[in-house]
């Protein structure tokens, strides 16, 4: 299988407000925090996907986000690293804010109780889950994984499924390649206490799947049908005993590292060993704070790249259309193509060949107009929402990340001639060929100029 590593689950926005507490409030014996800086990162399944992308080459997140500022920020924080497939959310995108002083958490404020709507799944979601090479489930109990069709697809998946459960979420589907609760979660799911070995064995029987119970600085206990094994943290990755580490996100790092290792073909035991070491190094490096960004860099208005734009269109229930070409010497035939393409959906992205790409296709005398000029002219057209420049001979790598609902080309092509068609189809998109306007082509215009 050559599909992506697909993460499916509930994403949210995590915020850390760092400050100093040097006095108590006069009205009550609580610390007064003088705010210094604010940091943001994707949380939940969003953090799992971001961390997976640090280890695997092709990661797509299926999640639900609201049409609000927090949803826009999550999309912007993932843009460029993780492909995003957004389902509709009923209510506000969840947001969790940790107030910290001197590196210690003082209080956490939770906003937004949005839940994923149980609408029929888009074809792209179905295609992603059916064609994934590995699937990581991060179920935070906000409705994405509870969708009956998603649960059915996960139960039927041919790819290995790594399931990171949380108390608010449901039980994993039987037959998962690995389930990864931490020790306290394992006790809640088992309904009784016991050693990590006991809990892992109980849950392996309950869920009919191998289970790895993570035990913090002690590593993990892996229970398979054959045996139960303790996998310790390597000495080289241990956090010194004198350090009080922030463990926020350690479970996401463990699960994402297991999924990435399976994605690359590792055995289950080797994948768990890799994940134990990865999680320990993640905590030693500052845990989730190490992947956070200053709030000033995550303003929704700054997320103007094509991928965050595409995510925003889908989050609002829109249909994304894309077309592509050189668009050298824009003529009426181009304009007609763009207008027809835009009429097929709610937003149009133009995939524009770079100057080097045009030269490779058309010869050393082309393009007549450099990419910066062609891009500016296209962006001035009412039909065009965004333009993305690519260097390759084919737009397939760009489309693999953009995953449009519709890919439009001029009718002088046939679908079998389009190398990018398979990529578009794999993501659940459709190919539309529109009729060209007779008598117009850049090559003819240039020949007329030269002959004249």
| 310 inside domain | no
CB contact at 8 A, 186 and 203: yes
| 342 inside domain | yes
* 277 shares its domain with 410: no
Q: What is the pLDDT along the chain (452 residues), one digit of tens a residue?
A: 478 999 999 999 999 888 888 788 888 888 888 877 888 999 999 999 999 998 888 899 999 999 888 998 898 888 878 988 899 999 999 999 988 887 778 888 989 889 999 999 988 899 999 999 999 999 999 999 999 999 999 999 999 999 999 989 999 999 999 999 999 999 999 988 889 999 999 999 999 999 999 998 899 999 999 999 999 999 887 876 656 677 788 899 999 999 999 999 999 999 999 999 999 988 888 778 778 888 765 554 444 578 878 887 887 778 999 999 989 878 888 899 999 999 999 999 999 999 888 888 888 877 888 888 889 899 889 999 999 999 888 899 899 888 999 999 886 666 556 889 988 988 889 999 987 765 555 455 444 444 44
Check 10, 198, 252, 328 and give the catalytic one. 252
| 239 inside domain | yes
Tell me how far apart the terminal alpha carbons of the chain are, to the nearest angstrom: 55
* 242 shares its domain with 338: no
| 202 inside domain | yes
* 226 shares its domain with 335: no
| Burial state string for 220-252 with b = 16 or more CB within 10 A and e = fewer than 16 | bbbbbeeebbebbbeeebebeeeeebbbbbbbb
| 314 inside domain | no
| 172 inside domain | yes
* 79 shares its domain with 221: yes
Instruction: State the Cα–Cα distance between residues 12 and 46, nearest whole angstrom.
Output: 7
The boundaries of the domain holding residue 103 are 5-301
* 297 shares its domain with 323: no
| 391 inside domain | yes
Chosen domain end from 270, 301, 332 = 301
* 408 shares its domain with 261: no
Chosen domain end from 241, 273, 301 = 301
Phi and psi at 216, nearest 5°, equal 65, -130
* 438 shares its domain with 382: yes
Q: What is the CATH number of the domain that holds 270?
A: 3.40.1190.20
Q: Which long-range contacts (CB under 8 A, 24 or more apart) does 358-363 make?
A: 358/326, 358/328, 360/393, 361/326, 361/393, 362/326, 362/328
Instruction: State the Cα–Cα distance between residues 51 and 270, nearest whole angstrom.
Output: 19
Instruction: State the Cα–Cα distance between residues 405 and 419, nearest whole angstrom.
Output: 17
Q: Which long-range contacts (CB under 8 A, 24 or more apart) does 20-23 make?
A: 20/101, 20/102, 21/101, 21/102, 21/106
What is the count of structural domains for the chain?
Answer: 2
* 446 shares its domain with 334: yes
* 167 shares its domain with 193: yes
Instruction: State the Cα–Cα distance between residues 49 and 203, nearest whole angstrom.
Output: 25
Is 246 one of the catalytic residues?
no
| 313 inside domain | no
Instruction: State the Cα–Cα distance between residues 335 and 255, nearest whole angstrom.
Output: 48
* 288 shares its domain with 355: no
Instruction: State the Cα–Cα distance between residues 124 and 153, nearest whole angstrom.
Output: 13
* 131 shares its domain with 261: yes
Which 3-state string (H, E, C) describes 159-209? CCEEEECCCCCCCCCCCCCEECCEHHHHHHHHCCCCCHHHHHHHHHHHHCC
Chosen domain end from 301, 336, 357 = 301
Instruction: State the Cα–Cα distance between residues 171 and 168, nearest whole angstrom.
Output: 10
* 252 shares its domain with 373: no
Q: What is the CATH number of the domain that holds 447?
A: 3.40.50.620
């Amino acid at each position: 299988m050559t599909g992506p590593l697909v993460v499916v689950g509930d994403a949210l926005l995590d915020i850390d407000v760092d400050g100093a507490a040097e006095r108590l409030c006069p009205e009550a014996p609580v610390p007064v925090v003088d705010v210094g800086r604010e940091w943001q990162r994707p949380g939940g399944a969003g953090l799992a996907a971001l961390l997976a992308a640090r280890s695997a080459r092709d990661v797509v997140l299926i999640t639900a986000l609201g049409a609000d500022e927090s949803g826009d920020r999550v999309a912007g924080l993932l843009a460029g690293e993780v492909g995003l497939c957004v389902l509709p959310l009923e209510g506000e995108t969840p947001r969790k804010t940790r107030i910290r002083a001197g590196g210690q958490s003082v209080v956490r404020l939770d906003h937004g109780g949005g839940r994923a709507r149980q609408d029929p799944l888009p074809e792209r979601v179905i295609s992603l889950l059916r064609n994934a090479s590995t699937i990581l489930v991060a179920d935070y109990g906000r409705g994405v994984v509870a969708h009956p069709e998603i649960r059915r697809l996960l139960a039927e998946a041919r790819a290995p499924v790594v399931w990171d459960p949380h108390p608010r979420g449901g039980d994993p589907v039987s037959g998962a390649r690995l389930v990864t609760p931490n020790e306290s979660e394992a006790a809640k799911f088992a309904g009784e206490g016991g050693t990590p070995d006991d809990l892992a064995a109980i849950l392996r029987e309950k869920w009919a799947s191998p289970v790895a119970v993570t035990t913090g600085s002690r590593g993990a206990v892996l229970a398979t049908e054959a045996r139960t094994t303790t996998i310790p943290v390597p000495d080289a990755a241990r956090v010194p005993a004198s350090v009080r580490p922030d463990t926020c996100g350690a479970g996401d790092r463990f699960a994402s590292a297991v999924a990435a290792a399976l994605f690359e073909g590792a055995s289950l035991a080797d994948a768990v060993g890799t994940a134990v070491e990865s999680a320990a190094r993640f905590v030693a490096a500052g845990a989730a704070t190490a992947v956070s960004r200053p709030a000033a860099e995550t303003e929704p208005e700054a997320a103007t790249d094509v991928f965050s734009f595409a995510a925003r269109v889908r989050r609002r229930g829109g249909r994304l259309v894309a077309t592509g070409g050189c668009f050298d010497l824009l003529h009426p035939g181009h304009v007609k193509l763009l207008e027809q393409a835009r009429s097929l959906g709610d937003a149009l992205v133009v995939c524009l060949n770079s100057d080097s790409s045009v030269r490779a296709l058309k010869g050393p005398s082309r393009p007549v107009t450099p990419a910066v000029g062609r891009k500016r002219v296209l962006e001035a057209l009412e039909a065009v929402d965004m333009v993305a420049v690519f260097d390759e001979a084919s737009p397939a790598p760009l489309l693999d990340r953009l995953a449009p609902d519709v890919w439009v080309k001029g009718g002088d092509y046939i679908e079998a001639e389009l190398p990018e068609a398979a990529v578009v189809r794999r993501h659940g998109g459709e190919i539309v060929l529109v009729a060209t306007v007779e008598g117009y082509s850049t090559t003819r215009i240039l020949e007329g100029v030269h002959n004249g």
